[in-house]
Structure 1
Amino acid sequence: MLKFYFNGSPNPTKVALFLEEAGIAFQPMPVDTRKGDQFKPEYLAVNPNAKVPAIDDDGVKVFDSNAILLYLAEKTGKFLPANTPANRGELLSWLMFVATGVGPFSGQAVHFKHFAPEKVDYAHNRYQFEAQRHFAILNDHLAERRYVVGDTYTIVDMDVWGWARMIPFILGEEAVAKYPNIKRLVDEITARPAAAKAMALKDKFTFKAEMDDEARSNMFRHLKTRAA
C-alpha cells in the first residue's frame, strides 16, 4: 500500500486531495516537522530533502508535491487534460509555475510575515510583492476559463488550490477580493467531498502546535547555524 508522508501544510494537502479524488488507498504517515520528524533516518531514506510531502509507492519513492502529483496522475491516467502536445505543454508550464513561483514565494511571504524572529522590511516587501504578482497572473489566466488548463479539472488546479486557499494567511484577509477568479476556483474545489477529506486528514493525528524554541530549531535550522 502507498505510504503518504504528510502534515497539514499546503503542499501535503494538495497531494491528499489527489489521493482522495482518485480513490487511492494509502497509509497515512504523519511527519511532525516542529518535532523534527523530517530529520529521522527512516524519513530521509524516502525524502533526502527533509521536507514534506513524500510517498513510498510499494518501493517507488517520490518527493516534492509537484513531482508526486505528476507521478500519480501519469500512473493512474487521472486528472490530466486530453493528450495533445498543446495541452501537455500547458500542463507542464503551469505546474512548474506553481512549483517554482507560487509555492516558494508564498512560503517565504508567510515566513517573513508571521515567523521571522526579526522584522526585515525588504524581505517582507519582496516576497509579498512576488506572491501577489504570481497570484495576479493566475487570476488573469482564469478570467476566461473554468480551470487552469482549459475546461478540465487537473492536477494543476489541485496544485493551485493547495496554496491559493491560504491567501488570507499569506497576504491578509483583504487580499482575497483582489483575485475573484482564483476565489471561484478555490471555492469550487473546496466544496468537493475529496477536499473535505484532504483537509480533515491532519485532524486524525496530533501535531505539535506550539512555535517554541524546539519548533523554531527544527523548522528554521539556519537560526541554529547562525548561532553557532
Structure 2
Amino acid sequence: MTENDRYTPPKIWTWDTENGGHFARINRPVAGATHDKTLPLGKHPLQLYSLGTPNGVKITIMLEELLALGHSGAEYDAWLIDILQGEQFSSGFVEINPNSKIPALLDCSTEPPTRVFESGSILLYLAEKFDAFLPTAHHSRTETLNWLFWHMGATADLGGGFGHFYAYAPEKWRYPIDRYAMEVKRQLDVLDRNLAGREFIAGDTYTIADIGIYPWYGELALGRLYDAGEFLSVHEYRNVVRWAEAIDARAPVRRGRMVNRLRGEPSEQLRERHDASDFELRTQDKQPPE
C-alpha cells in the first residue's frame, strides 16, 4: 500500500456497491429478502438448504455420520443455495434464516416444523435430537461444547479475515494478510497443542467438535483451503495434520464433502442430495435425477 492508496474514513460511512471483491454483487448493509421465492420441499424429515462451503459441509458430514450409525430419522434432502446468485436472499430462505447465511435446516418431523440456523446450532440440535456425537458425562460434554463454540468464534478470522484478504479481495494488501495469517497460525498452534495428547479434539471420542472444526482447519491442514497450505506452512502442525487425515478417511466425511459442492472434480460434486443412491450415481459420473 502506497501513500496515495491510504484511506481516510469519512465522517459518515455510505454504501458503495462498486467496492469490488469476490462477493461484491451480493454483499449489502441491510437484511431481509430481495425477492419472493418458495423453497422446495423433499420427502425426508430434514430439509437442508446449503452450499458446499466449510460451514455447509459441517452439516452434511453430521447427517451422513448419523445415517451411518443407523439413525433413519436423519434422512435428508439437501437443496443447493447458490450464494453468488443471491439465492440466500429469497423470501423462503429468509423465513428459515433471517441472517441469510447458509446452512439452514428445516426439521419437518416436528409440528410445526422447526427452523434451525447457524452451523453450530444445527450441529448441537442434531446431536441432541439423535443423542449422538455429544458425550453425556458432564466434563466430556462441557469440553466438547468448549471447542464447538471456540471454532464458531475463531473461524471468522480464518474465513472472513485471512480467506477474504488472501484469496478474494480485489487487491493483495500486506497489512490485513499479515494480520490474519498470524492469527490463523496461532489458532493452528492452539489446535496442535490440544491434539498432542488427544486422538480427537475433545478427547478420545469423535464428537461434533471434530465435525465442526474439520471443514475449516482440517481442510486447511490438508492444503485444500484457499490454496494456502504452503503459505501458512501447515505441515508444521503435525498433530493437526494427523487428526485431519484420520477424519478425512471416514466414509461419511467423504460423502458429506460432496454434497452441494460446486468446486473440484465433477466426480466429487453432488449438487443436490435426495437419496443415499445419489452418491453411487455420482461416482459413476452420472448426474443424479432431478
Q: Which AA in structure 2 matches 1:14?
A: K
Q: Identify the residue that residue 174 of structure 2 maps to in structure 1.
A: 121
SS in 2 for 1:173: coil
Decide which structure has greater helix share.
1
RMSD over aligned Cα atoms? 1.4
Q: Identify the residue that residue 12 of structure 1 maps to in structure 2.
A: 56
Is 1:205 paired with 2:271? yes
- Which whole-Å deviations, capped at 9, do the CAs of 1:184-226 have from their partners, x for residues lacking one? 11111111110111112122228xxxxxxxxxxxxxxxxxxxx
Question: Matches of 2:179 and 2:227 in 1, distance apart?
Answer: 12
Q: Which AA in structure 2 matches 1:179?
A: Y
- Which whole-Å deviations, capped at 9, do the CAs of 1:157-191 have from their partners, x for residues lacking one? 11111102331334722222121111111111111
- Which whole-Å deviations, capped at 9, do the CAs of 1:81-118 have from their partners, x for residues lacking one? 2x2221222112111110001x1111021110011113
SS in 1 for 2:196: helix
Question: Matches of 2:158 and 2:193 in 1, distance apart?
Answer: 18
Question: Matches of 1:88 and 1:173 in 2, distance apart?
Answer: 32
Is 1:172 paired with 2:224? no
CA contact (8 A) 1:98 1:159 kept: yes
- Which whole-Å deviations, capped at 9, do the CAs of 1:119-156 have from their partners, x for residues lacking one? 33222111111111111101110001101111000000
Q: Which AA in structure 2 matches 1:106?
A: L
Q: Identify the residue that residue 253 of structure 2 maps to in structure 1.
A: 195
Q: Which AA in structure 2 matches 1:114?
A: A
Q: Which has the higher contact order (CA 8 A, sep 6+)?
A: 1
Q: Identify the residue that residue 67 of structure 1 maps to in structure 2.
A: 121
Could you state the TM-score of these two structures normalised by the residue count of structure 2?
A: 0.68
Among residues 141, 155, 158, which one is paired with 1:106 in the alignment?
Answer: 158
SS in 2 for 1:205: coil
CA contact (8 A) 2:49 2:102 kept: yes
Question: Matches of 2:93 and 2:165 in 1, distance apart?
Answer: 28
SS in 2 for 1:34: helix
SS in 2 for 1:90: helix
Question: Matches of 1:93 and 1:161 in 2, distance apart?
Answer: 15
Is 1:132 paired with 2:188? no
Question: Matches of 2:227 and 2:189 in 1, distance apart?
Answer: 12
Among residues 243, 249, 270, which one is paired with 1:185 in the alignment?
Answer: 243
Aligned residues: 204
Poorly superposed stretches of 4+, deviation over 3 Å: none
Is 1:39 paired with 2:93? no
SS in 1 for 2:47: strand
Return 5+ residue gaps in structure 1 as ranges: 207-228
Could you state the TM-score of these two structures normalised by the residue count of structure 1?
A: 0.85
Return 5+ residue gaps in structure 2 as ranges: 1-44, 68-73, 262-268, 273-290
Identity in percent:
35
